[in-house]
Amino acid sequence: MGLSVDGGRDINDSLAILGGLSTNTAEDESNFDAYIGPQVYGPITQGIDLNTQLLLHFNKNSYAAGETKTYVEFNAGIRAWITQRVETHVLAGSNGEHSIFTFGARFHATDKAVFSVASKNNGLYGPQLQLSVRYQFK
């Protein structure tokens, strides 16, 4: 079982700073992967957006016990609005050694609350089912 905490802050209409921390307690309770970096995004057509991320990771014990590693991840993805409140997204990329892939959907229950489900492989912990809730504090 793993745990992940992610967040972001919009800088302007097409740039955000992302950060997060994840762990996989099934493998080792002292492992973690922390990241930070920019996300650039913009519309392709009405209802479809393109986004790219360049993330700097600091990782402990996920590759090998006692090993820390710093690496860069690049990925690109598309978000498509299916209805006014439902979107799907796909993201693919690489961290230099492993491929990264995420596919999922989000339900925007209100202007502030978003619920999502995704299939995720971040290149470290293998395939995972990700359930998340996002709340905007503005």
User: Domain containing 125 — which CATH number?
Assistant: 2.40.160
The pLDDT > 70 percentage for the chain reads: 92
Q: Cα-flanking dihedrals φ and ψ of residue 56, to 5°?
A: -95, 125
- What is the total count of domains within the chain? 1
Tokens coding 129: 């089912």
Round to whole Å and give the CA distance between 83 and 102. Answer: 21
- pLDDT-derived band of residue 5, with 50, 70 and 90 as boundaries? confident
Q: pLDDT by residue (tens digit) across 78-103?
A: 999 999 999 999 999 998 888 999 99
For 126, the domain range is: 2-135
pLDDT of amino acid 138: 65
Report in angstroms the alpha-carbon separations of 9 from 71, 79, 91, 101, 105. Answer: 22, 18, 19, 23, 21
- The residue among 123, 55, 41, 54 whose CA lies nearest residue 89 is 41
SS3 call for 137: coil
Higher pLDDT among residues 128 and 77, named by residue: 77
Per-residue pLDDT, averaged over 46-64, amounts to 88
